[in-house]
């Protein structure tokens, strides 16, 4: 991919992952405004969403770091 496209995709991964983490922790757990899904299994789903979001953040950072290390230095 083009370097600018790589950076945009990596930034989107980090941004979406961060949004998922903040939304679940702040809105669902601290403020208790609503749940991701209704029912007794809501906490398990929300924990899974936080873990998946953290995975997106880690993937975005890892890909961006790899892309930057692969660029030739001037």
Q: Where are the domains of the chain?
A: 3-70
- The encoded tokens of residue 8 equal 């945009």
pTM of the model: 0.87
* Average pLDDT rounded to a whole number, residues 53-74: 91
- The encoded tokens of residue 5 equal 């496209």
Exposed, middle or buried by CB within 10 Å (0-12, 13-18, 19+), for 45? Answer: middle
- How confident is the model over 4-47, as pLDDT tens digits? 788 999 999 999 999 999 999 999 899 989 888 888 898 999 99
Cα(13)–Cα(21) distance, integer angstroms: 12
* Average pLDDT rounded to a whole number, residues 34-62: 94
> What are φ and ψ of residue 37, in 5° steps?
-140, 145
Exposed, middle or buried by CB within 10 Å (0-12, 13-18, 19+), for 10? Answer: buried
């Amino acid at each position: 991919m083009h370097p600018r496209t790589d950076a945009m995709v990596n930034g989107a991964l980090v941004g979406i992952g961060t949004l998922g983490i903040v939304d679940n922790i702040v809105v669902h757990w601290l403020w208790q405004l609503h749940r991701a899904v209704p029912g007794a299994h809501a906490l398990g789903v929300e924990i899974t969403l936080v873990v998946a979001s953290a995975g997106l953040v880690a993937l975005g950072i890892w890909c961006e770091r790899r892309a930057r290390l692969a660029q030739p230095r001037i």
